[in-house]
Structure 1
Amino acid sequence: MAEEEVVILEAENTPSNEEESFALIEEERTDEITPSEVVPLNQNEKRSPSKKRLLILLIAGVILLIGIMVALLLILNAKDTVSQTPIIKEKEEEKILQKEQFSPSKLDSMIKKAHLLYEQGNKEEALKIYEKIATFNEAISYYNIGVAKLKEKNFSEALEAFKKAIQNKEHRCISAINAAVCALELKDDTLFTYYIDLAFSYLPEESNAPLYSYYVGLVHYYKNFYYEALSAIRHPSMEFYKEDQTYLASKILASLNQNTLAIDTLEGIKAEGDHFTLGLLYAKKGDFVTAKHYLQRAIHAEPHNAKVKIALSMVENKLGNLGNTASLLGEVYKINDTNAQTKPLYNLHTILKPSLFDVQNAQKEFEKELFFTQENIYGLLFYYAPYKVFDAKQTIDYIRKGSMNIFIDEIGPALSYLKASSTISKVNIAISQGIKQALNAHVYEANTIFAHMVEEYKNHSILHYNLALTYAQIGDYAAAYKNFSKSYHLDNNNYLAGVFAIMSGHLINRDVAKLLEDVKESIHKNPALEKENLYLSLLYLTDKNEFSLTRWLEMEKEDSPLSLVLNIIASQKLSNERMYERSTQKLQALLPKDIMANIIAFNAKYHKKAIKSYAKEIQMEFNKLPLEYDTFYYGPKMVKEQYIKLLQIGGLLHQKRDSVRAQMEKEQEDIPAMMQTLAFMEIYTNRFEEAFTLYNKLIDDYHKKDTYTIFLASVAAIGAGHNENAIALLELSKLTDPANMESRYALGLLYQEIGNFEAASVQYRSIGNSGFISRYFSFNIAR
């Protein structure tokens, strides 16, 4: 079957209204007798070679009409010859016998036979008949010779025949169109333009022809006048070639980004050979589940069609089935085979998701998330979790220092004692210094202090716990998991360390089933704990036992920040609106200047509003709130991400970026932390080169080589078009944190883009069919 080119585009990745950008190239129809199909291009784009065979079906019908006309001429000529020359010489007799072989009925029969053979796939026999007609019948026109040569794929001779047909004034419009097709096959764009313009000038000659509207549609289509072509095709002068005109209309609608109309139009005929095209159209629309269904049917019909497999691999990619993506890449490119195809079938281009810097896309995604993805839920708990001091005997309520949003367990007199005691140990001094930095929102500084001390005191449970908490707050979940686990194993009564180890393990896709059972058993064995308690309720959350969270909501308990946040999460999961709003109000009252507490309370108040109204309320409320900004400038990843996202949705991001730049110029105490915040904002304001420069300075000059900083540097590099730098940074990020799926996914895309399919497959396979959907990266297909 003839191969076609087809293209699917993702909503996310183009500036259209589609959710994601996904482009594949449209595959030609498998009906070989149809005219050549062409991938629609924009007005200023180069015409695609896929226009080469759009007219083949039209040709067969015209042959029949011409054949009948030729047959009538033969009859008339034969009669004239008999009346004028009653005695026929031997040689003339042979000529008449030869013409009888191609009498009108015989000619009609042969054309029909060739047509049927071609339809059934017996191309060789069909072409023999066409060749016989073209070669031996003297009455056949140059036009029909051109048709026969075109079916033989002898484009040079076909072009010459159509050229002579035009000179002899034989069907000049359609001959010119077919000549243009030959020029495309011969890759002569200048000649293509000449003949399609010629066809345009001959259109008036066909104004009374039954297929006039089809000719008009084809010529305008080839000239990239898609609206005019669509108008002609959708108002046919007759019903001939209805399916072909419908198919062409669908392609034009797809090129105009009218994907739903394109699908509806094509599904009106729904031929077996259209499964590939429908799969691509659904993928372009962003309906990847339906796209997969059609592409699988297309593969069933054509199991060795490489383009269908690669299209399916990209749809699987969008669905998070990256193990399937790796397998399909391996099948097509025969990884580790020295004779394998190495040139990409489609030119994949790695991009950043438009939602990172496009307000419309950001609003769509935000409306779906509402802060309650798994990472955001765990991030809230890490953010409001207490730090611990060395004196485990002294239990003091969770408090915060001044207007800061970092919390500490067992502080009060213990912290004063630490500062005053002359007998205090070195590790306790380090803990107090680290906690002081954390209380003042300088979480990166606290992390540095704890990391330095843990090298010297490797078996200190509280030190490992505090270090793990700083790692969790800056987004290095692999390091958080390692240190939370260590803390819990050093002290099985440190239940928060155990629970947080499970949460951070989930975020890096670690198997924590055994740890979960161990922590549960340890909690149940403690007679001092109530049957229902904070630690057990947190485990219910990690175990997705949401019904059991009802008991947590019904308990009498102290309103600490951590317990209130668990209330908020539980009530949201259980759809308890009354408890959800009441708990958010309590948290806001407890921490009136806390950015996160205000964002959560705002969301509870307005989350039912349409996103545009929601954005307007952001502008009205967050411009007047007296917030404490130190946690945004220096503090946890959670605050930076959520506040920037909120500002972006409300259209306030550029305004806040200017104030951060001004603050950066005055900063003396914690320049790297402020630089982190500014660089992050530069990404979201589409200033990738500036962000890339700042991250390079953080890595090279300030030696900030945590996985999150390195990863964000790679994000900026891709946005700035520095893909080689991005690959190097992502490889480093992967080494620092092998469980970072974002790094692996981006590497897979970048390696696939440069044609290193083996390396791409390794990254995709490591993620597997986990349903992973990147927050940062996507791809489109370059034409």
Structure 2
Amino acid sequence: MKSLLLLIFFGVVVYANPQLYESQPNIIFKYDTLESKQKATSLEIDFNNAVLFMEQKEYLKAITLFKKTAKILKIPSFLNIGICYYKLESNNNAFLYLKKIYDLKEASKEDVYSYMSASFYLYQLTKDRKYLATITDIATELSSKKFTEDVKRLVADTYIMIKDYEMAIKIIKTMKYIDDLKLALLYISLKNYDMATVHLNGAKEKYGDKVKLNEILWFSIFKNIKSNSLAKLKDDIITLQELKNEFNINRKLPLKVFFNPKKFSAKEYLTKITNFDEKRKIDMIFYFSPFIFIDREEIFNDSVMGYVLKNQENITLIDTMLQYNSFLLTVIKKDPIIRAIELEKDINGKFEKKSYEYYNLGLSYAQIFDYINAYKYFKKAYDLSHSNKLYSSMTLIAAKRAKIKLTKNFETKLRNNLLSKDGDYDYLGKFVYKIIFDKKYQMPEKKPSRTDRKSIFLRSLDFIDKITEQGLNPNATLLDVDVKDPLVYLFRSLTKKELESNYEYISRLQDTLPKEYNDYYLRGPMIITEYYMDVVKALGIFSKVDFNIEGEISPTYFKTKAYVELYKNQPVKSIKILEKLQNEYQLNDKSTTELLIAAFLSANDYSNAMATIGMLQFEQNDDDAKFINGVQLLQNMRLNSVLQFFNSKYDGDMIDFKIEGYEEYLESL
């Protein structure tokens, strides 16, 4: 009896080389019983000659010999015949021989690796994922003895192809040779940037050739862009500047800016809607904040003019102020975008402006996500009435939301004024400060006024203050008393019942969340629409929601419609809607502009996208636009001043960054 072990090695992809080589697993063939020593020797010679012809790419000669050896070595010969035909692009013949192995179910136990290899090639030919499923199914039943290094590598590569990166990592970590670069790219895909850093450093120590080290540097830059690791990114850029003359990986693996409709997973969206970040907390404060109508107290506390009621001129002015109440009551019922436009038109037509008029205008802009204008008018309100603590707090949070860098002197004045004793809206203003700026701040012993205690604003502040620790608490007063408010109704709908499993929770929400009678969520203050969109994405029901409101022509609805068209892969429709909104309503805020940029990118209109990004950076000094332009400078190797573009972390929700060819490179390793 004679036992022979024949090994065939195929090339591994190295992207650094101009030529692209196909990566295939090592193939191990074993046979034990031959009729005689002479036949065994003859078979060994034929088989090895066939292998030699394969290595020399003489595939037809190899096929002739493999057909001869197939009489005894059926499975390995058929596999190699299939591979030869695959190389010759004779796909029908390749499929025929590989399918013969696949149909021999006993081969999945007797010759596991060959059977898996046949399945691997069948997937390459057909793109039918059942062949990949076959590999993973067999792998789950293999004994540790049969789970050889070659089998592990093939199974890991299969998991990579089906994008089950966690399982791929689990398999790779059991191997004797750990491919650090492969692990690093897998961790980047999973957004585990700390582990990606560990393995990129490991890969850097293992490789000596410059091309591979340049690739590792490029992936490190990409990882630091994605993770907002600005200090590490700047270190990598300095290294890149030193290699500029010999670096060309950016041409082979270009860094691209793109619209990413899947930037967040359903799980990440679920976190966003149940545990609010600072941005959403500020937006909620703006949403629940009261518009200020003029009452007796406001009249007597006006800081611009000290009214003497016996003076006929001042009585006339008081009548004018009371007329403002009527005007405001009418205008706040209108669409939020129209509300902001009409309030600004009204205030621009007056010689004497009041602090509350500026405040109401600032609040209107905040509710349509125009934070720069919100800050502008909140500050004007504060300048006219330092005693109003709500004006101070709104000025501070609007600046924070707009990423406006206040001078140290002005910010100190604002905070000192806000935290001083007494003043209008003292309790509410300080409560806002506590939530956003100083969680440990001790609220004053003086209780809020009776009017404040009855307000939805105070209940909302209490809710926002406790959201991080308590989540969407069904016992919160806001969710009980104010359930008629559309945003509060959504919060209440999302509360988890006692003893309810995650599966039951998601299933219930998928069934009960309004998908058709949902007009309140598609127009009005932007936070309602944004939150509703995040909810349907978290539940995976975006495609099942009816976003149409028959006959609706309000600008906030059309902005929602532009968003929906973009996420339905209709960017041209989205662009037309947004450009019309900008022309008719002068919507040049960051939120609308980012949506337009995303639509341009989705429509592959890269020139207009980058031009709009440049305009956003120039006109609004926007940090996110600056970051995106910095990425473009990196790709184009314009490195002289690029470091200054990465002084603030990127915060965009729709526009993302990728390396073209990333997945192909990963699959090739």
| TM-score, length-scaled by structure 1 | 0.62
Structure 1 counterpart of 2:437, from 531, 535, 543 = 543
Per the TM alignment, residue 378 of structure 1 is displaced from its structure 2 partner at its CA by 0.8
Aligned CA-pair RMSD: 5.7
Aligned partner of 1:382 in structure 2 is 286
| Partner deviation per Cα, 1:628-684 (whole Å, 9 max, x = no partner) | 95x963x321122234445666759866523x23333xxxxxx43443343344445
Is 1:598 the equivalent of 2:489? yes
Aligned partner of 1:135 in structure 2 is none
The 1:514/1:284 distance shift into structure 2, 3 A limit, reads same
Per the TM alignment, residue 33 of structure 1 is displaced from its structure 2 partner at its CA by 9.9
Per the TM alignment, residue 499 of structure 1 is displaced from its structure 2 partner at its CA by 1.4
Alignment of 1:474-493 (within 5 A): 474-493=368-387
Per the TM alignment, residue 220 of structure 1 is displaced from its structure 2 partner at its CA by 3.5
Is 1:561 the equivalent of 2:453? no
**Secondary structure of 1:440's aligned partner:** coil
Aligned residues of 1:379 and 1:473 also touching (Cα < 8 A): yes
Task: Give the aligned residue type for 2:547.
Answer: R
Task: Give the aligned residue type for 1:473.
Answer: Q
Structure 1 counterpart of 2:122, from 198, 218, 223 = 223
Is 1:638 the equivalent of 2:547? no
Per the TM alignment, residue 316 of structure 1 is displaced from its structure 2 partner at its CA by 3.5
Aligned residues of 2:255 and 2:658 also touching (Cα < 8 A): no
Alignment of 1:407-556 (within 5 A): 424=317, 435-436=328-329, 438-452=331-345, 453=347, 461-512=355-406, 515-526=410-421, 533-546=427-440, 548=442
Alignment of 1:293-304 (within 5 A): 293-302=198-207, 304=210
**Secondary structure of 1:298's aligned partner:** helix
Per the TM alignment, residue 544 of structure 1 is displaced from its structure 2 partner at its CA by 3.5
Per the TM alignment, residue 308 of structure 1 is displaced from its structure 2 partner at its CA by 3.4
CA distance in 2, matches of 1:605, 1:281: 34
Aligned partner of 2:477 in structure 1 is 582
**Secondary structure of 1:663's aligned partner:** coil
Aligned residues of 1:276 and 1:298 also touching (Cα < 8 A): yes
CA distance in 1, matches of 2:290, 2:110: 79
Alignment of 1:17-28 (within 5 A): none
Aligned residues of 2:365 and 2:374 also touching (Cα < 8 A): yes
Per the TM alignment, residue 373 of structure 1 is displaced from its structure 2 partner at its CA by 2.0
Aligned partner of 1:731 in structure 2 is 614
Per the TM alignment, residue 475 of structure 1 is displaced from its structure 2 partner at its CA by 0.7
Aligned partner of 2:22 in structure 1 is 51
Structure 1 counterpart of 2:551, from 649, 652, 662 = 662
**Secondary structure of 2:283's aligned partner:** helix
Aligned residues of 2:566 and 2:574 also touching (Cα < 8 A): yes
Aligned residues of 1:465 and 1:487 also touching (Cα < 8 A): yes
Task: Give the aligned residue type for 2:479.
Answer: T
CA distance in 2, matches of 1:435, 1:656: 33
Aligned residues of 1:275 and 1:298 also touching (Cα < 8 A): yes
Per the TM alignment, residue 267 of structure 1 is displaced from its structure 2 partner at its CA by 1.8
Aligned residues of 1:220 and 1:226 also touching (Cα < 8 A): yes
Is 1:692 the equivalent of 2:567? no
Structure whose alpha-carbon radius of gyration is higher: 1
Structure 1 counterpart of 2:175, from 266, 269, 272 = 269
The 1:782/1:535 distance shift into structure 2, 3 A limit, reads same
CA distance in 2, matches of 1:173, 1:293: 42
Higher mean alpha-carbon deviation, 472-481 vs 307-316, is at: 307-316
Aligned residues of 1:166 and 1:176 also touching (Cα < 8 A): yes
**Secondary structure of 2:258's aligned partner:** strand
CA distance in 2, matches of 1:516, 1:363: 37
The 1:735/1:769 distance shift into structure 2, 3 A limit, reads closer
Task: Give the aligned residue type for 1:661.
Answer: E
Gaps of 5+ in 2: 1-6, 32-36, 124-130, 308-312, 665-669
CA distance in 2, matches of 1:385, 1:491: 18
CA distance in 1, matches of 2:79, 2:327: 78
Gaps of 5+ in 1: 1-31, 40-47, 63-68, 74-139, 398-408, 415-419, 665-670
Aligned residues of 1:567 and 1:580 also touching (Cα < 8 A): no
CA distance in 2, matches of 1:508, 1:217: 55
CA distance in 1, matches of 2:568, 2:649: 31
**Secondary structure of 2:22's aligned partner:** helix
Is 1:707 the equivalent of 2:581? no
* Count of aligned positions: 622
| TM-score, length-scaled by structure 2 | 0.71
| Partner deviation per Cα, 1:671-716 (whole Å, 9 max, x = no partner) | 4344334334444566544333321222345543333222222333
| Partner deviation per Cα, 1:605-634 (whole Å, 9 max, x = no partner) | 769854754664686586999x995x963x
The 1:617/1:281 distance shift into structure 2, 3 A limit, reads closer
